[in-house]
Amino acid sequence: MKKIALSLSVMLFCIFTQAQPPEGNAAPGDTYGAKVNTKGAVPLADLATKLESGSTPADTKIKAKILEVCPNKGCWLKLELPDGQQAMVKMKDYGFFVPLAAKGKTVVIDGAVSLKTTPVSELKHYAEDAKKSKAEIDAITEPKKEISILANGIVVVK
Which tens digits make up the pLDDT trace of 31-45?
999 999 999 898 988
- Give a yes or no: residue 144 inside a domain: yes
Domain of 146, CATH number, reads: 2.40.50
Q: pTM for the whole thing?
A: 0.76
What is the domain count for the chain? 1
Cβ(70)–Cβ(76) under 8 Å?
yes
In a domain? residue 9: no
Rounded CA-CA distance 116/71 in Å is: 23
Please check whether residue 14 lies inside any domain of the structure: no
Residue 109 is part of which domain span? 22-156
Residue 113 covered by a domain = yes
Tens-digit pLDDT profile for residues 107-134:
999 999 888 888 999 889 888 888 889 9
Is 12 part of a structural domain of the chain? no
- Lowest average pLDDT, out of 9-13, 67-71, 105-109, goes to 9-13
Q: Domain for residue 108, yes or no?
A: yes
Q: In terms of C-beta density within 10 A (0-12 exposed, 13-18 middle, 19 or more buried), how is residue 122 classed?
A: middle
- Residue 63 maps to a domain: yes
